[in-house]
Amino acid sequence: MSMDECGTYNGTQKLLVLGAICLSGLSMPVSFTGPAVALPAIAQGLGGTPIELSWVTNAFMLAFGSSLMIGGSLADRYGRKRLFMLGTMGFAILSLIAMHATSMLWLDTLRALQGVASAAALSSGAAALAQEFEGNARTRAFSLLGTTFGVGLACGPVVAGFLIEHFGWRSVFLSVTAITLLAFALGGWCIRETRDPGATGFDWLGAATFTGALTFFTVAVLLVPENGWLSAPVLALLATSSLIMATFVIVERRSKRPMLDLSLFRYPRFIGVQFLAAAPAYAYVVLLVLLPQRFIGIEGLDAMTAGQMMFALSAPMLVIPFLAGMLTRWLSPGLISGVGLLLCACGNVWLAQCPPGQLPDQTILAMILIGIGVSLPWGLMDGLAVSVVPKERAGMATGIFNTTRVAGEGIALAIVTALLGGMVQANLASTEPASVSSATLCAAANRLAMGDMSRALQLLPNATHIGLMHSYADAFHLLLYVLAAISLLSAAMVFGFLGHSKPTYVELSELRGESAGL
C-alpha cells in the first residue's frame, strides 16, 4: 500500500519526503557549478563567442529564475507531487541529451530547458516540504535543504574537475542524472499529493510578461561588453524590458488570482526576504563562475586543481546552514543572516588583496570566510520566505522568493561580467599602443575577463602574458571592492527589515486576511 493510500504520515515518512526533495535540490547547484568549471573545456570543444559561452550559465539561470513563480503557481494549482515528478524526470532526460550537444546553440538551448525542469522540481518540492513541517521543525527542514545545496556547491567543482580530467566535459552532465533519478524514484513513493484548494486557474499573461521582461533585460546586459551601456541595441532592449515589466505589474494588479501577489510588498518582512534572496548573488554566486575562469584561464591551473580550490569557497555550506538553523533557537534568522552578509563583505575585501599568481594560502582563507558568511543565511532563507504567507500559498511564496534569488543571480552574473570586461578594457587602453582599435581592445578584454588568455594574446600581439595578467588583476581587485560594498548595503537592509525576531501578530493577521480575500 502506498503512503497516499495509507493516509497517515509518521516521522519516518516525513524524513523520506525531505530526503527526496534534498536529492532534487542537490542537482541544481551541481548543474550550475559543474559547467562553470567546464567552460574552458567547452570552449575548446565547441568554440563559440564570449556571448555564446556566457549563455552556458546564463541560459540555465535565466530559464530557472523566470520559471520559478510559474512552477510555484502550477504546483499550488495542479499538485506539488505531480509537478515534482515531471520536473525531476525532465531534468534527468535533458542532462543526458546535453552530453551529446554538437554546437553552442544546441547546448545553450538544452541548458535553458534544464533550467525550466529544475525550477519545476525545486518550487514544487519546497512547497511540498512546507506542508509536512511546522514551526521550528520547518526551519530545520529548510536548513537541511540549504545544507544540501551547500553539498552541491562544494562538491560540484571538485566532481566536475575530476570528470573533465578523466572523461571530458560531456561527462559533467552525467553526474546529476543519477541523483535526479533517485529523487524521482523516492519522491514517487513517499511524497503525498497536495494542492491549494483556493487555486482556480493560472495567470498565463502574468507569466509571459514577467518572463519577457527578465529575458530582454538579461540579453541587454549581456550585450553591454561589446556594445556599451548607451548603444542603441542595449537601450532598446532595456526600454522594451521596462515596458513589459510595467505591463506585468498592471496585469497582476487586475488579476483575481495573480501569479505574484503585489499586496505582499506592503509588509516590511516580505520586502526584507526579497533583499536577502538577492544578496548572495553579488557576495558569492558570481564568484562560483568568475573564480574558475581566473584559476584555469589566468593562473594556468588544471581543472582538477581549480575544482579543489573552489571547494574552499563552498565547503562551509556542508555544515554552517544546519548550525544556523540551530542558532534560531536563540537568535532571530534576520540577525544571523545580516551577520553572514557582513562576513561576506569582509571576505571579498580580503580576497581583493590576493592577486592572481601568488601563493594560494591567503586566497583560500578569504574564500573560506566568504563561504562561512553566505552559509549563515543560506539555510534560513527558504524558511523565512514561507513564514510570511499562509501555508496554503507556500508554492507562491517559494516561487517569488526563489525567482528573486535565481533571477537576481542571473542578472548579477551578467552585470558583474560586463563590469569586469569594462574594467579590463580600461586597463588595456592605458597600456596598449594608440594604434590598437577600440573594437580589438573590447574583444581582447572580453576574452580576458572570461579567462581566455591565449585568445587575448592573439588579439594583442604586442602584449605579454604578465602584462595582461596585471590588467586582469587590477580589474578583479576593484570588482571585489564593488561586491563588498553591495554586500555591506544588503546587510544593512536585512538588519533593518528582518532584525526583529518575529513578525507582529497584527502583521500576520493582516497578511492572512489579505490572502483570504484573493
b/e map 58-91, b = 16+ CB within 10 Å: bbbbbbbbbbbbbbbbbbbbbbbbbbbbbbbbbb
Closest among 158, 100, 140 to 18, alpha carbons compared: 140
**What is the model's pLDDT at position 372?**
92
pLDDT tier at 67, thresholds 50, 70, 90: confident
**What is the model's pLDDT at position 386?**
63
CB 386 within 8 A of CB 398: yes
Closest among 123, 111, 42 to 83, alpha carbons compared: 123
Determine the Cα–Cα distance for residues 69 and 64; give it in Å rounded to an integer. 10
Which residue in this structure is represented by grid cell 544546441? 106
Return phi, psi of residue 221, to 5°: -65, -35
Determine the Cα–Cα distance for residues 195 and 191; give it in Å rounded to an integer. 12
**What is the model's pLDDT at position 4?**
43
**What is the model's pLDDT at position 281?**
85
Provide DSSP, 279-293: HHIIIIIHHHHHHHH
Return phi, psi of residue 205, to 5°: -65, -40
pLDDT tier at 89, thresholds 50, 70, 90: very high
Mean pLDDT for 306-329 is: 81
Mean pLDDT for 289-303 is: 84
Closest among 356, 362, 379, 343 to 484, alpha carbons compared: 343
Continuous segment of H or E residues that includes residue 128? helix 104-132
Provide DSSP, 140-163: HHHHHHHHHHHHHHHHHHHHHHHH
**What is the model's pLDDT at position 484?**
94
**What is the model's pLDDT at position 257?**
67
**What is the model's pLDDT at position 399?**
61
The C-alpha cell that represents 176 in the structure block: 546529476
Inter-CA distances, 476 with 54, 291, 419, Å:
18, 10, 10
**What is the model's pLDDT at position 480?**
94
* Sequence-separated (6 or more) residues with CB below 8 Å from residue 37: 156, 157, 160, 161, 164, 172, 292, 296, 303, 306, 307, 310
Least confident window among 7-16, 88-97, 288-297: 7-16
Amino acid present at 419: L
Q: What is the mean pLDDT of the chain?
A: 79
pLDDT digits (tens, 9 = 90+) for 397-426: 666 666 777 777 777 877 888 888 889 888
Which residue in this structure is represented by grid cell 509518521? 10
Provide DSSP, 428-495: HHHHS-TTS-HHHHHHHHHHHHTT-HHHHHHH-TT--HHHHHHHHHHHHHHHHHHHHHHHHHHHHHHH
Q: Which of 139-148, 322-331, 398-407 has the highest mean pLDDT?
A: 322-331
**What is the model's pLDDT at position 133?**
75
DSSP letter assigned to residue 86: H
Mean pLDDT for 306-322 is: 82
pLDDT digits (tens, 9 = 90+) for 343-377: 999 999 999 998 887 768 888 999 999 999 988 88
**What is the model's pLDDT at position 385?**
65
Give the count of beta carbons closer than 10 Å to the beta carbon of residue 486.
21
pLDDT tier at 79, thresholds 50, 70, 90: confident
* pTM (2 d.p.): 0.73
Q: Name the more confident of 238 and 132.
A: 238
Q: Name the more confident of 170 and 380.
A: 170
**What is the model's pLDDT at position 162?**
82
pLDDT digits (tens, 9 = 90+) for 264-293: 677 677 777 777 877 888 888 889 888 888
Closest among 11, 119, 28 to 75, alpha carbons compared: 119
Q: At CA 110, angle to CA 104 and CA 111, rounded to 5? A: 85
Helix and strand numbers, DSSP H then E, in the chain: 21, 0
**What is the model's pLDDT at position 127?**
79
Chain mean position to CA 399: 14
In this predicted structure, the answer to whether residue 473 has a pLDDT above a threshold of 70 is yes
**What is the model's pLDDT at position 515?**
38
**What is the model's pLDDT at position 34?**
77
Of the chain, the percentage scoring pLDDT greater than 90 comes to 12
Half-sphere exposure of 445 (CA within 13 A, CB side): 31
**What is the model's pLDDT at position 513?**
42
Mean pLDDT for 314-328 is: 80
CB 272 within 8 A of CB 495: no
**What is the model's pLDDT at position 382?**
67
pLDDT tier at 486, thresholds 50, 70, 90: very high
Mean pLDDT for 308-323 is: 82
In angstroms, how far is the first alpha carbon of the chain from the final one?
38
Provide DSSP, 339-382: HHHHHHHHHHHHHHT--TTS-HHHHHHHHHHHHHHHHHHHTTHH
pLDDT tier at 8, thresholds 50, 70, 90: very low
The C-alpha cell that represents 442 in the structure block: 573590447
Secondary structure, 3-state, 238-297: HHHHHHHHHHHHHHHHHCCCCCCCHHHHHCHHHHHHHHHHHHHHHHHHHHHHHHHHHHHH
pLDDT digits (tens, 9 = 90+) for 196-231: 666 656 667 877 888 788 788 878 877 776 777 778
